[in-house]
Copies of this chain bind each other. A is one copy, B any other.
Amino acid sequence: MKLSSYISVDCVVLGYDSEQLNVLLVERKLDDKVNDSPFEPDWTLTGNHVYLDEDIEEAANRVLYDLTGFSEIYLEQFKTFAAPDRLLKPKDQVWLKSIGMDPLKRVVTIGFFALLATQKVSLKWMGRNVKWTPVKEVGDLAFDHNQILDSALIAIRNKMRHEPLGFELLPEKFTLTQLQQVYEQIFDAKFDKRNFRKKVNRMQYVIALDEKQKGVPHKPAQLYKFSREIYEQTKRELLEFFV
């Protein structure tokens, strides 16, 4: 039998707040009391169904726009989750029924990751609780969303090895310490400050501004910006392969 299924998108929205890496979670509640059994609210990634006339990238952008009011967010598809049993847990079944879906029909979801500097956006209410949670403190999520989050982190790490995604997590103007922290958090590692700076110095597309931090109780740091044009012009073709 050919499969017909619902299609949804789930977005792993990562935000860096100049301190740590956070992921955006939404509380899952029953909208109306379809059933009497107690339904403890829990948390999910941000996601939604794909509409009839929408491509999946549009759907993911819509989800982000609805949450943040911002549409210039770095977004990328990373994996699709379609296991036949992915939403068969009792709680997931109750929830599917409550929003009028056939709980036995499969839901195929396409996972996206989004990167942004938390300062850039302010969350909108949208009738549901939304919160930033440090990636390292995420507990059990609803559906198969822990698995989706883990896959996203691996995909981001891989992509970051070759593409300047770190800047997407920073504001326009940033310090080298912030840049280093972003990479340290993504790779879950510590880098040597001097060596990191030597490396960044070689990147012509990281440009020192005529401006420093203000109001900090220590020596103010130089501010930098990222130039995508210079990046595109000067990036090397990487012909190297594994070690």
Contacts and interface: CB of A to CB of B under 8 A. Distances in A.
Contacts of A191: 239
Contact of A4 (B5, B77, B84): B5
Contacts of A33: none
A126 interface: no
A72 interface: no
A238 interface: yes
Tell which of A6, A79, A80, A236 has the most Cβ of chain B within 10 Å.
A80
A45 to B, nearest CB: 17
Given A164-B242, A242-B161, A5 B5 contact: yes
A224 to B, nearest CB: 16
A103 to B, nearest CB: 14
Interface residue range, chain A: 35 or more
A159 to B, nearest CB: 8
B55 A3 contact: no
Interface in A176-203: 183, 187, 189, 191, 202-203
Nearest to A166: B241
B77 A55 contact: no
B6 A4 contact: yes
A3 B6 contact: yes
Interface in A209-243: 236, 238-243
A170 interface: no
Nearest to A49: B2
A195 to B, nearest CB: 11
Interface in A109-143: 110
15 contacts: A1-B52, A2-B50, A3-B6, A4-B7, A50-B82, A54-B84, A56-B108, A77-B79, A80-B110, A160-B241, A161-B238, A161-B240, A162-B242, A166-B241, A189-B239
